Amino acid sequence: MAYRDLVRGWHEGVLAVDKGDWESALKIFSSIEEPSARICFNIGCVHLLTGNLEGAVQAFDQTVTKDNRLAVGFFQRGFVCLQLDKYEEALYDSRMALTLLRYNPFIDYKQLGLRHMLYAWEVLYNIAAAQCRLGQWQEAKVTLENAIIQRPEGRTMSLDLALKRIQEHLFLDPMQIPPGEFFRPRKKEVEQLDSKDFLGKPKVISSVIPNDEYIGFEPLRPQTKGFYKPSVDAVQDCDSGYYRVLGHYYPKDSEEVALKASSLVFVLTKDTDGWATVIHNGQKLCVPTSLLEPVHAPKADKWKIDNGIPLPPDKVPPSRPHLKQKDKQQPGSTEGEGINADDANSQTNFMQVPLFPKEASFTVDGAILLKVHCSYTIAVQVSEALSLSDLRSLLKEKFCQDAEHGKLSYRHSSSGELIAVSGEEDLGKMWQQVMDGKLTLWCQGPDSCSDRPVLYQMVAEYKYIAEGPEDLEFNEGDTLDILAEVNEDWLEGRCNGKIGIFPKCFAVRARMDPAQP
């Protein structure tokens, strides 16, 4: 049900209540689809006014079901339960209302549309009334004493009399919301039920584009070559259309020709006085109808540029030309890194560097694609005949001076451990780990963070692929040395000879060995 319809029915029901027409009010409130808790509360209050206690209980049941935080709903249902001799239920509802007060002295329901304030002492009074019915006189006395503590100044005498009645083992009459008080819709929402026309009726205006038949308002239509025909509803006049001027037309008090003979104009309207409103070259003119002759809409002329509204080009634009790597190097690349595939054979054997800092897309027969992780990552093509000194010279050229003396290591294919390369023998074992012509090498400089203290270690639960040069890439199961905590979500760590940052959620704290001190 639309909220506007709900507010309208709500307002009509309240008006019927104000008139004392209970039957109409119940009919209107009950006709609302999916009523809110406040509508159900109003239905229960109307049933109370008509004396239908069972109907009131059912309505208040729906109220607290739809809104289990509405204290006044529990308060009213507790009152009805006392009338129906359901003392246990009444005591429960009154205590729920007191709980929902949350130690506040009162709740003002004016903002929700109910002109009533539910006080804590009123709820305590009804709790004492229920306890009296259950024969709990001592508990009722203590509850009423608490109500006297929270009582306002004007209620002193009435509560004292109630305490005296309890001491004499006399029942208390329960309290309820004053009859005639209901949840009412907001005044602004009621005022907005009837729509108001602030702008008035829209007027259709004609187009002043040269050679354009489109006037008025209509949905967009697919473009076709040449002139465009407006829909029948968009045409203001049955005589609208294209006309040819039979002779030169000179406006009054002017010697200049406004319209030359054989000119095409578009007639918007024809008046009974013998004049027509036309459009020509973007201007609106009044021309005698005797000079106009109806013609068919002109056909498109592909050789005429301004014939109708210009259309998009039919040809597909050429594709972007490939950059010649010989002329342009990749930004940020060092000298010698911009060698293209055409010059591959003319370069020194197995010393070619790819154009981008990713894996090369081509290899030379007998070469090994070596991927090196240092301060950043590059891929180079080398040969197994390359010595350790030549390899370090290559790293010095590609990275920096420190890479020449850095610690080299590779991952063993079977154990997965990082093995250091310190001599020619280790280098030979490294070449044996080549798979599919590819090998990954880690270079850790002497000024790296190896001397930084390790806070603790973590184990990678998931594989993390670096999204930037500052990220630390690792696989599932790798051990990570935590060097610093960047923030709550990111850590700085070291893995496989590389240092970077990674999300904390990708790894878990490694368990400490019990034997380890």
User: DSSP string covering 260-291, please?
Assistant: -TT-EEEEEEE-TTSEEEEEETTEEEEEEGGG
pLDDT digits (tens, 9 = 90+) for 180-225: 899 999 988 888 777 766 676 655 455 555 444 444 555 555 555 4
Mean pLDDT over 149-158 rounds to 71
Q: How confident is the model at residue 362 (pLDDT cuts 50, 70, 90)?
A: very low
pLDDT at 298 over 80: no
pLDDT digits (tens, 9 = 90+) for 125-138: 999 999 999 999 99
Mean pLDDT over 254-262 rounds to 76
- 206-217+225-311 CATH fold: SH3 type barrels. (2.30.30)
d(CA 244, CA 267): 10
pLDDT at 206: 57
CB 12 within 8 A of CB 42: no
d(CA 300, CA 403): 72
Q: Output the six-digit token pair for 225.
A: 């070559």
pLDDT at 381: 83
Beta bridge partners of 484: 492
pLDDT digits (tens, 9 = 90+) for 107-128: 999 999 999 999 999 999 999 9
CB 228 within 8 A of CB 213: yes
Strands (E), 27-150: 106-108, 117-119
Strands (E), 9-132: 106-108, 117-119
Q: How confident is the model at residue 323 (pLDDT cuts 50, 70, 90)?
A: very low
CATH number assigned to the domain with residue range 341-444, chosen from the 4 options 3.10.20.90, 3.60.9.10, 2.40.10.350, 3.30.360.10: 3.10.20.90
Torsion over CA of 191, 195, 198 and 199, rounded to 10 degrees?
170
CB 217 within 8 A of CB 208: no
- 3-188 CATH fold: 1.25.40
Backbone angles phi, psi at 196, to 5 degrees: -115, 140
On average, the pLDDT of the chain sits at 76
- Residue bearing the bigger pLDDT, 231 or 242: 242
pLDDT at 399: 67
pLDDT at 337 over 70: no
**Same fold yes or no, 3-188 and 206-217+225-311:** no
d(CA 370, CA 353): 10
d(CA 195, CA 217): 24
pLDDT at 60: 94
- Residue bearing the bigger pLDDT, 141 or 229: 141
Phi-psi group of 132: left, alpha or beta (phi > 0 → left; psi -120 to 50 → alpha; rest → beta):
alpha
- 248-257, 310-319, 418-427, 482-491: the lowest-pLDDT one: 310-319
HSE (side-chain half, CA atoms, 13 Å) at 403: 20
- Estimate to the nearest angstrom the gap between the alpha carbon of 184 and the chain centroid: 34
HSE (side-chain half, CA atoms, 13 Å) at 85: 0
pLDDT digits (tens, 9 = 90+) for 158-180: 788 888 999 889 999 999 999 88
Locate the domains of the chain by residue range: 3-188, 206-217+225-311, 341-444, 449-509
pLDDT at 89 over 50: yes
* Homologous superfamily, domain 449-509: SH3 Domains (2.30.30.40)
Provide the b/e sequence for 285-313 (b: ≥16 CB within 10 Å): bebebebbeeeebeeeeeeeeebbeeeee
Q: How confident is the model at residue 437 (pLDDT cuts 50, 70, 90)?
A: confident
